[in-house]
Structure 1
Amino acid sequence: MDTQNLIDMANRIGDFFDSMPDREEALGGIADHIHRFWEPRMRRALLASLDEPAAGGVEMSAIVRDALVKHREQLTPAAPAAV
């Protein structure tokens, strides 16, 4: 999974919601969009990037980072069922 591409996509979502006057609503909108439209592998990779030091490339915007931190539990996919 290309984490830099995921961060870029998340930043574009953040750009849309950043224009909202209510920041809490914007953070919830970002989290809701990612939860509803991103598959679990994408969400796991994006959330994992929060814990990794930035290694150049695309930097996550502040509003996206805030949304992911605030809604991390909601965004974390359930563990796959054991077979």
Structure 2
Amino acid sequence: MDIQNLIKMANQIGAFFASYPDAQEASSEIANHLKKFWAPGMRKLLLDHVDVNHGDGLDAIVLSAIHTHRRALEPSTC
């Protein structure tokens, strides 16, 4: 899958959960959604993008959720 599509999808997820009044809950829900509904390979591409390109193109809420919940999103832990 193309990283630009993954960025777009991740930002859409982030936009949905951004309406949550509790920022920590929003962050957890973004990570939970990525873990539950994204294939390990998709998560790996996204995490590699964060490592190599500092998450360029990702909304702040998504990037924060990835940093906060990185360990849970690693494909090897799924």
Please tell me the residue identity of whatever aligns with 1:66. Answer: S
Alpha-carbon RMSD across the aligned residues, in angstroms, is: 1.5
Q: How many angstroms apart in 1 are the aligned matches of 2:76 and 2:66?
A: 16
Q: Percent identity?
A: 49
1:26 paired residue number: 26
**Structure number, greater radius of gyration:** 1
Moved over 2 A (4+): none
Name the count of aligned residue pairs: 76
TM-score (norm 2): 0.91
User: Which runs of no fewer than 5 residues in structure 2 stay unpaired?
Assistant: none
TM-score after normalising by structure 1: 0.86
* Structure 1 unaligned blocks of 5 or more: none
- After TM superposition, give the deviation of residue 36 of structure 1 in Å: 0.2
Q: Deviations over 1:39-69 (max 9, x none)?
A: 0000000011111236xxx710000000000
The 1-side partners of 2:20 and 2:4 are apart by 25
